[in-house]
Amino acid sequence: MNFNDVLNSRRSVNFFDPDKRVSNELLKSVLDMAAKTPSSFNLQPWSVIVVDQESEKETLKKLAWNQPKVTEAPLTLIVLADRHGWKEGHPFVEKNFQEMIRAGSMQESQREWFKGAREGLYGATPERQLAFAAKNAGFFAMTLMLAAKSKGLDTHPMDGFDLEGVKKAFHIPDNYWVPLLIAVGYFKQGETLMPAKWRKTADELIVRFD
């Protein structure tokens, strides 16, 4: 599938075949593709919880406005955005720093500078911390949906859910915000999608504030 076909055929699908599982191998290949997403300083402050057990799917559905796709899709991903994914001492921040040293793009002597840059950009206020987590995890989620489509899977993003309820039911630590859920599976043959939705034109996208 070329990129235009992926873009044009990705839709938020309401009809999933409940009998068609997504293999672990396929899920992992989609996640590996989504991992190519760019992020602030390459900090990658995102993760997913894979909800594919029937009882957990029922729990999640109840917390997600009873949207049937949560149980009809073979799996739903809870996307996590780490509001602390810029902090000194965070394991992936340290891994990122070490990888940059290994690649020759950073030196140990720059540790304090890098720490200060992250704190200034992302740590100054709770709003900045949330913005850092949300924008990066949003990009990740989009790549994931396009990657899934390119592999023959369909998806449905959802922010219609009880944030605090989901955090509690899935024991999600407080540093994470949950930007969205993504149902993933195979389109149920025989169903018909609504026509594709309207989009802003390029002219409508361009603004300025003189």
Binding site for ligand FMN (CB under 6 A): 11-12, 67, 157-160, 180, 197
The least CB distance from residue 186 to ligand FMN, in Å, is: 16
109 phi and psi angles, rounded to 5 deg: -65, -15
Q: Which residue is nearest to ligand FMN (CB)?
A: 160
The least CB distance from residue 140 to ligand FMN, in Å, is: 12
The least CB distance from residue 178 to ligand FMN, in Å, is: 11
Q: Which is nearer to ligand FMN, 47 or 155 (CB)?
A: 155
Residue type (1 letter), 139: F
The least CB distance from residue 156 to ligand FMN, in Å, is: 6
Q: Which is nearer to ligand FMN, 67 or 136 (CB)?
A: 67
Q: Is-contact 173 7, C-beta < 8 A?
A: no
**C-alpha count within 13 angstroms, C-beta hemisphere, residue 70:** 23
Nearest to 177 by CA among 71, 85, 65, 41: 85
Q: How far apart are CA 40 and CA 42, in angstroms?
A: 5
Q: Which is nearer to ligand FMN, 171 or 197 (CB)?
A: 197
